[in-house]
């Protein structure tokens, strides 16, 4: 599982000119799932993201987590996070999980994030043509891959 975590002061997802998700302060999480991902990846990733100390404290130092700030979350599925650009100029998405594998894992991740942060989160729509807008605060952008937990 790969996640791009962006600290935002606002973010929104639009599908067919209709806003389906919007938050103020919090995290926009772009989530890519590969076929070898499993339940243990979901639990580890949700806890890691919720506890990342990437929000400013009263001194302007990144010491606070999403949990400490009670920030909001949008999760957007993004299979292109598993693009391979090793050969040629056309990315290959062979490592990205097929929908029958990815959708249940995506839905489980959303539920686990809600459990960990004890509040509902918003999402895009799996497989939809989405327009994602955000104001990246900082900017702070972090990439996490559950296959590399160092």
State the pLDDT at residue 149. Answer: 80
What is the CATH topology of the domain spanning 2-145? 3.50.80
At 118, give phi and psi (nearest 5°): 55, 40
State the pLDDT at residue 142. Answer: 97
- What are the residue ranges in the chain where pLDDT is below 50? none
Catalytic (active-site) positions: 78-80
Round to whole Å and give the CA distance between 87 and 121: 37
State the pLDDT at residue 94. Answer: 86
Round to whole Å and give the CA distance between 130 and 125: 8
Written as one string, the DSSP assignment of 52-120 is ---EE-TTS-EEE-HHHHT-EEEEEE-GGGG-B-SSSSS-B-TTBPPHHHHHHHHHHHHHHHHHHHTS-
Question: Where in the chain are the domains?
Answer: 2-145
State the pLDDT at residue 150. Answer: 67
Round to whole Å and give the CA distance between 69 and 55: 8
Round to whole Å and give the CA distance between 78 and 3: 9
State the pLDDT at residue 88. Answer: 87
For residue range 6-37, list pLDDT tens digits in order: 999 999 999 999 999 999 999 999 999 998 99
State the pLDDT at residue 27. Answer: 98
**Long-range contacts of the stretch 91-98 (C-beta < 8 A, 24+):** 95/34, 95/35, 96/32, 96/33, 96/34, 97/33, 97/34, 97/35, 97/37, 98/35
State the pLDDT at residue 82. Answer: 87
């Amino acid at each position: 599982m790969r996640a791009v975590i962006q600290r935002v002061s606002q973010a929104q997802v639009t599908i067919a000119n209709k806003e389906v998700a919007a938050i103020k302060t919090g995290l926009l999480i772009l989530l890519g799932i590969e076929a070898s991902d499993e339940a243990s990846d979901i639990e580890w990733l949700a806890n890691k993201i919720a506890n990342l100390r990437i929000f400013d404290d009263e001194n302007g130092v990144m010491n606070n987590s999403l949990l400490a700030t009670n920030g909001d979350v949008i999760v957007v599925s993004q299979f292109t996070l598993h693009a391979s650009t090793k050969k040629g100029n056309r990315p290959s998405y062979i490592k990205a999980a097929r929908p029958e594998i990815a959708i249940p894992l995506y839905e489980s991740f959303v539920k686990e994030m809600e459990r960990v942060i004890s509040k509902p989160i918003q999402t895009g729509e799996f497989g939809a043509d989405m327009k994602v807008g955000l104001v990246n605060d900082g900017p702070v952008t972090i990439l996490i891959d559950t296959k590399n937990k160092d």
